[in-house]
């Protein structure tokens, strides 16, 4: 286990350099195959247990304009975990790996000094055209500076399943289209630099998000 962890640590050092470069240049960073298939599946199993245990609550449903077709603006179901809950060892391992990467970046992410984070939010878009309208995670300086999302959707095909994350970097005419692929890790600045939306999902779509504070 020790040997495995030291290999992981040195890998996270390399990843952190890449994350810092990407965030500095684009404000967005995607890492694929973050933990490997078997660990990814272990995490997915724990998330599916949370979901089947019925402990995921509707994200606050905001009534859309009555004229709009889908009455509710958001459809995500969420629950918060800190990884100490029973049968969530692999979610805990994921969070500690996210922390390991961010900790390695922390000193290089001028002007931020990242030193804490939220619990992990497990979100499920139940399909049935649920989506998340365009928003900024932290529009009013609540302290959150980096959004970190880990996706758990095997064989996801946006053409069939939708659920594309679209980020509209402020002041740019380019759009980042992020597919919620299995074992994919995503970082982006949480503030107004990155308005984003989740397009309608037609199949259950799982993700685990942590926000890092300055």
Ligand X SMILES: O=C(O)CNC(=O)c1n[nH]c2ccccc2c1=O
Scanning residues 108 to 137, which ones bind ligand X (CB under 6 A)? Answer: 123, 132, 137
Of 85 and 197, the one with the shorter C-beta distance to Fe ion is 197
Nearer to ligand X, 104 or 189 (CB): 189
Q: What is the CB neighbour count within 10 angstroms for residue 86?
A: 5
Asked if 12 is part of the footprint of ligand X (rule: CB under 6 A), the reply reads no
- 198 contacts ligand X (rule: CB under 6 A): yes
CA neighbor of 102 nearest in space, from 162, 55, 149: 149
Q: Does 150 interact with ligand X (rule: CB under 6 A)? A: no
The whole-angstrom separation of Cα 207 and Cα 187 is 13
Nearest-Å Rg of the Cα atoms of the chain is 17
Q: Looking only at residues 46 through 105 of this chain, which bind ligand X when binding is defined by CB under 6 A?
A: 59, 76, 78
The CA-based dihedral angle spanning residues 9, 10, 15, 20, taken in that order and rounded to the nearest 10 degrees: 90
Cα separation, 47 vs 26, whole angstroms: 31
Judged by CB, which is closer to ligand X: 104, or 164?
164
Of 117, 85, 80, the closest CA to residue 101 belongs to: 117
d(CA 143, CA 206): 25
Concatenating the DSSP letter of every residue in 140-193 gives T--SEEEEEEEE-BTT--HHHHB--EEE--TT-S--EEE--BTTEEEEEE-STT
Out of 91, 122, 149, 152, point to the residue binding ligand X (CB under 6 A). Answer: 149
Q: Which of residues 161-180 bind ligand X (CB under 6 A)?
A: 165, 180
CB of 10 to ligand X, least distance (A): 29
In the list 46, 76, 137, 183, the residue contacting Fe ion (rule: CB under 5 A) is: 137
Nearer to ligand X, 88 or 147 (CB): 147
Q: Give contact residues for ligand X (rule: CB under 6 A).
A: 59, 76, 78, 123, 132, 137, 149, 165, 180, 196, 198, 207
């Amino acid at each position: 286990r020790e040997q495995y962890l030291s290999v992981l640590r040195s890998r996270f050092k390399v990843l952190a350099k890449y994350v810092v470069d990407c965030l500095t240049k684009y404000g967005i960073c995607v890492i694929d195959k973050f933990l490997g298939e078997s660990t990814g599946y272990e995490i997915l199993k724990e998330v599916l247990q949370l979901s089947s245990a019925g402990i995921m609550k509707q994200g606050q449903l905001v009534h859309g304009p009555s004229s709009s077709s889908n009455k509710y603006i958001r459809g995500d179901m969420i629950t918060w975990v800190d990884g100490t809950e029973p049968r969530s060892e692999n979610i805990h391992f994921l969070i500690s790996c996210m922390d390991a990467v961010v900790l390695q970046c922390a000193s290089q992410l001028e002007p931020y000094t990242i030193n804490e984070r939220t619990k992990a939010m497990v979100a499920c878009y139940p399909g049935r055209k649920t989506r998340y309208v365009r928003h900024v995670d932290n529009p009013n300086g609540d302290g959150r500076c980096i959004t970190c999302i880990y996706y758990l959707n095997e064989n996801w095909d946006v053409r069939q399943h939708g659920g594309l994350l679209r980020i509209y970097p402020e002041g740019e005419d380019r759009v980042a289209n992020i597919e919620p692929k299995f074992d994919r890790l995503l970082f982006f600045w949480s503030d107004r630099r990155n308005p984003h939306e989740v397009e309608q999902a037609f199949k259950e779509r799982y993700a685990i998000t942590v926000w890092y504070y300055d």
